[in-house]
Copies of this chain bind each other. A is one copy, B any other.
């Protein structure tokens, strides 16, 4: 995949990441490295290199499909106002009206409000709602939405008609805990960041009601709890292994002690040797189990216990950071609401003054209207600025969420892999223990095969005989 080209889907500042690559949505990068873990290295057209989350880009299957950037810019520059040109994952160009969210495969020529809809290929036309396209076409969110934010500002000078932006907002978005989401009804096929991977960064933007019913839990908090629980599990496994170690040590101690027992120590000959080996084999078994417990300690218990010693602290830091961004988002949302209220008041004031003008035409009133209109425009600009700040905060939060959840994913994979490896090590040690244990019986078996009652008798008779002679009949 290295050497391929990809198109960026979202703007990425990269500022919180060493060697992070800053880019806007829609840029084309050359992919340099694609190691596991979700972070790729890429190079921009201007030669700048850096790292970015793989989920921020869309691979271009055939690099040749993308026309050189200047050519595209040229094409874009000739589009009617409000229209943008994009590439489908298949490399086919299509057009999006960022104001009305209309899409078409054909290059629009008419006015932006009446784009020609795709003809014969209607079934395949990319559907887009509020910046999200159904699967099969690349996702464009930040860029188009930023566009839609700026376009309707002129409408504040035409207060009689409701602004398309506000109308659209009411219809297709909902706000949960100060965060604006697309309305579920309008998102039947929302494109996910990593649709095949069940990535954390796709499913934890919203908050969740606390199971106890009081308050809500942030999605990120749930992810974090998962990690902390994982850490806890790993610690508990380590404790479990420690208990096992204790059992093994106790067992080994008992076997070793019994091995020293003098029972039947006086058995003689080859049977005596075999019996002595039976007893010795218990000491061997004890050693095997001691070795098992000592290896369990060094190769399973300790690594499990020490893996990510400062994990909780790191997670807390991470949590604070996200929480701060979340707070900023909330305060900026409050500013937006305040500015929105101020604008409403200014508009009411302007409306009232306009009505007064209709009743009695005075010079002073006309100036009042001018002043009110200026203030209304100012309030509109304030709201715009507040929305801008809110959107900036959300963009930061978005980036932080994506990169952090990516990191959490990596950590989780690492944790599962680490535990898996150490449990494999555990079973490996168990296997070895059984094998070594079996080998302790081998010398016993050998000596048992050599047990020879005749030889034993010979040895015993030689040692204990009372003489070589047998009695003879007495003679007179």
Q: In the assembled complex, how far is the CB of residue A271 from the closest CB belonging to chain B, in whole angstroms?
A: 5
Find out whether the CB atom of A263 lies under 8 angstroms from the CB atom of B236.
yes
CA distance A470 to B203 in the complex (A): 8
A428-444, CB < 8 A from B: 430-431, 434-435, 437-438, 441, 444
Q: Which of A80-88, A351-359, A419-427 contacts B (4 or more CB under 8 A)?
A: A419-427
**Residues of chain B with a CB closer than 8 A to A394's CB:** 471, 473-474
Q: What CA separation (Å) do A74 and B182 show in the bound complex?
A: 134
Alpha-carbon distance between A247 and B259 when the two chains are bound, in angstroms: 12
Q: Is A146 an interface residue (CB 8 A)?
A: yes
Identify which of A131, A243, A261, A467 gathers the most chain B CB atoms within 10 Å of its CB: A467
B-contacting 9-mer, from A61-69, A314-322, A446-454: A446-454
Contact A427 B448 (CB under 8 A): yes
Could you say which of A39-47, A109-117, A173-181 contacts chain B?
Answer: A173-181
Contact of A437 among B142, B145, B208, B434 (CB under 8 A): B434
Which of A13-21, A119-127, A161-169, A361-369 contacts the other chain? A161-169
Q: List 20 A-B contacts (CB under 8 A).
A: A131-B473, A132-B472, A141-B472, A173-B472, A179-B471, A182-B470, A190-B468, A192-B468, A202-B461, A203-B468, A206-B469, A226-B464, A233-B264, A240-B261, A274-B420, A333-B474, A398-B470, A413-B453, A416-B456, A431-B441
Q: What residues of chain A have their CB less than 8 Å away from a CB belonging to chain B?
A: 130-132, 141-142, 145-146, 148-149, 152-153, 163, 165-166, 168-169, 173, 179-182, 184, 187, 190, 192-193, 197-200, 202-208, 219, 222, 226, 229, 233-234, 236-237, 239-240, 243-244, 247, 250-251, 254-255, 258, 261, 263-264, 266-267, 271, 274-275, 278-279, 282, 333, 336, 340, 380, 383-384, 387, 390-391, 394-395, 398, 409, 412-413, 416-417, 419-420, 423-424, 426-427, 430-431, 434-435, 437-438, 441, 444-445, 448, 451, 453-454, 456-458, 460-462, 464-476
